[in-house]
Amino acid sequence: MAILKILQYPDERLHLVASRVDVFDDALKTLVADMLETMYAAPGIGLAATQVDVQKQLIVIDFSENRNDPLAIANPRIISTSGKSTLEEGCLSVPGIYETVDRAENILVEAQDIEGKFFEIKADGLLSVCIQHEMDHLKGRVFIEYLSRLKQTRILARMKKLARERM
């Protein structure tokens, strides 16, 4: 297994749109294992393939207390939504920034597992928000794009400063 590099906002590659996963082979299983290791090490509760510069519709999530209940989701598609949720979100691609975003409270998602088998996920609370956040990554969207122009400008300046300090 390997820890992958997580792209940092404002990296342009975070805006690429992912393609459907159509081959469910050993290479996909290795990618899922690497994404999980990367997410656990970060640490985070979710990670989208886009964030590790792989343009595939693939997400990993684990928000269990003991970090031992991983979920891998390929080709997620929202079938229905209801209600409204406003939770604080973070993002491994925008470290140190936590902001509330309006999302659907309940979602029903159709997806495929790493064998390609279709399944449905009914989610609410943090799982629902996390899935919506990760699905946005697959569409090239970063959560701060829901914020005001002023907040986005401030965050962009902070991220550019962080990048300069890392050099």
Whether 105 is a known active-site residue: answer no
Distance CA 134, CA 70 (A): 15
On the 0-12 / 13-18 / 19+ scale of CB atoms within 10 A, 48 is buried
Q: Which x/- pattern, by CB under 5 A, does the window 91-110 give for Zn ion?
A: x-------------------
Nearer to ligand K1U, 87 or 114 (CB): 87
- Give residues with Cβ within 8 angstroms of 69, minimum separation 6: 62
Provide the minimum distance between the beta carbon of 50 and Zn ion in the complex, in angstroms, as a whole number. 9
CB 30 within 8 A of CB 68: no
Nearer to ligand K1U, 19 or 86 (CB): 86
Provide the minimum distance between the beta carbon of 85 and ligand K1U in the complex, in angstroms, as a whole number. 11
CB 134 within 8 A of CB 48: yes
Nearer to ligand K1U, 32 or 129 (CB): 129
Q: Which of 105, 134, 145, 165 is catalytic?
A: 134
Nearer to ligand K1U, 3 or 116 (CB): 3
Residues that bind ligand K1U (CB under 6 A): 43-48, 89-93, 129-130, 133-134
In the list Zn ion, ligand K1U, none, the entry touching 7 (Cβ below 5 to 8 angstroms by class) is: none
CB 159 within 8 A of CB 9: yes
Provide the minimum distance between the beta carbon of 131 and ligand K1U in the complex, in angstroms, as a whole number. 9
Q: Which residue(s) pair with 82 in the sheet?
A: 106
Provide the minimum distance between the beta carbon of 14 and Zn ion in the complex, in angstroms, as a whole number. 9
3-state secondary structure of 91: coil
Query: Alpha-carbon torsion 114, 116, 117, 120, what sign?
Result: positive
Distance CA 73, CA 105 (A): 19
In the list ligand K1U, Zn ion, none, the entry touching 85 (Cβ below 5 to 8 angstroms by class) is: none
- The residues of the shown chain that bind Zn ion, judged by CB under 5 A, are 91
Residues noted as catalytic: 134
